[in-house]
């Protein structure tokens, strides 16, 4: 049972090919992580699924419906998003920001009611942001603001949640706390999640399936044990690593290996420029 189907998705920025014939299916209630080096097309893929970038007709379907014919209202009640960067210029309270996630369900000029408030409170408790409810969002740290944006997305109560590097501004405690919450929503609420993650070990630990993207093409898709191999990491990331089994989760765990004791051409250039 696939909730999202991507069929031969292509995208260019000018003459640069960013996505090249991408195809995959996403099962309902599963956690997918998109991995890949910088510039591989991860964020562009999410933007196409969200219709921030307008994809070609018949290239992306949600529940067998072509998203190019779906209204903005329909999309907002089906798909929520946590972007990579969130800029908030106005001096709203944190509760105001989270309550904005209820907008797709309100009629014109209608204000939020008790039910909307209770939904927002539950999401803020989940994301450990309820204690900030009366604070100005402009006073929060980057990590705190990120958790507020996640709470706003949860409040939309959509079937699908897309996240673009959701843990990049968080410390290790809040990384685990946030991914635990999203994993819980997948399992208990049948929420379908697609997240871009740079931390391969976190992706392996929490995801049901991994999508390995490189140069606009899917290089592999499957469970962590299949996708994360020493050969694949060296080929896609141009980095050597050692992979062991996590003793707690039994998932593959990457240990990067630098060229210890070896002089690289880059090192020689830096040394000669700085110390000549």
Q: How many CB atoms neighbour CB 202 within 10 A?
A: 17
Q: What is the rounded (10 degree) CA torsion for 273, 274, 275, 276?
A: 30
Phi, psi angle pair for 202, to nearest 5°: -65, -40
pLDDT at residue 274 is higher than 70: no
In a domain, 248, yes or no: no
**CATH number of the domain enclosing 190:** 3.40.50.300
The mean of the pLDDT values for the chain is: 90
* Total residues found in the chain within this entry: 276
User: What does the alpha-carbon distance between residue 206 and residue 223 come to, in Å, rounded to a whole number?
Assistant: 11
In-domain check, residue 60: yes
Is residue 103 included in any domain, yes or no?
A: yes
Q: Is the model's pLDDT at 264 over the cut of 80?
A: no
Question: Band of the pLDDT at 259, cuts 50, 70, 90?
Answer: low
**pLDDT tens for each residue of 155-213:** 999 999 999 999 988 899 989 999 999 999 999 889 999 999 999 999 999 999 999 99
Looking at the 3D structure of the chain, how many domains does it have? 1
According to the model, what pLDDT value does residue 265 have?
Answer: 54
159 backbone dihedrals φ, ψ, rounded to 5°? -85, -20
Q: Is residue 274 part of a domain?
A: no
Provide the pLDDT for residue 261. Answer: 41
Q: What is the pLDDT of residues 55-69, one digit of tens each?
A: 999 999 999 999 999
Mean pLDDT of 204-227: 96
Q: What is the pLDDT of residue 47?
A: 95
Rounded to whole angstroms, how far apart are CA atoms 17 and 104?
Answer: 34
28-53: per-residue pLDDT in tens? 999 999 999 999 999 999 999 999 99
Q: Does residue 174 sit within a domain?
A: yes
Residue 93 lies in a domain: yes
Give 254's Cβ-side CA count (13 Å radius): 25
Domain membership of residue 13 as a residue range: 2-229
Residue 202 lies in a domain: yes
Quote the pLDDT of residue 271: 46
pLDDT at res. 270: 47
Note the pLDDT tens digit of each residue in 75-94: 999 999 999 877 777 889 99
Assigned domain for 236 exists: no
Residues in CB range of 263: below 8 A, 6 or more apart: none
């Amino acid at each position: 049972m696939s909730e999202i189907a991507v069929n031969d998705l292509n995208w260019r920025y000018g003459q640069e090919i960013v996505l090249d014939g991408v195809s995959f299916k996403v099962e309902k209630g599963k956690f997918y992580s998109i991995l890949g080096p910088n510039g591989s097309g991860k964020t562009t893929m999410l933007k196409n699924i969200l219709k921030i970038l307008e994809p070609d007709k018949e290239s992306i379907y949600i529940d067998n419906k072509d998203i190019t014919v779906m209204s903005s209202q329909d999309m907002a009640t089906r798909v929520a998003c946590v972007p990579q960067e969130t800029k908030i210029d106005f001096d709203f309270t944190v509760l105001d920001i989270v309550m904005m996630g209820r907008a797709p369900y309100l009629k014109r000029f209608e204000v939020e009611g008790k039910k909307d408030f209770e939904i927002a409170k539950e999401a803020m408790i989940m994301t450990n942001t309820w204690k900030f409810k009366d604070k100005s969002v402009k006073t929060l740290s980057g990590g705190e603001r990120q958790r507020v944006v996640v709470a706003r997305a949860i409040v939309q109560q959509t079937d699908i949640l897309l996240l673009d590097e959701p843990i990049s501004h968080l410390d290790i405690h809040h990384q685990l706390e946030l991914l635990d919450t999203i994993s819980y929503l997948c399992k208990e609420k049948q929420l379908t999640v697609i997240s871009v993650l740079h931390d391969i070990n976190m992706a392996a630990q929490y995801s049901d399936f991994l999508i390995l993207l490189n140069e606009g093409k899917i290089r592999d898709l499957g469970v962590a044990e299949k996708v994360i191999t020493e050969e694949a990491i060296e080929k896609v990331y141009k980095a050597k690593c050692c992979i062991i089994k996590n003793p707690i989760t039994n998932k593959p765990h990457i240990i990067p290996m630098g060229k210890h004791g070896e002089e690289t051409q880059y090192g020689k250039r830096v040394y000669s420029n700085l110390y000549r």
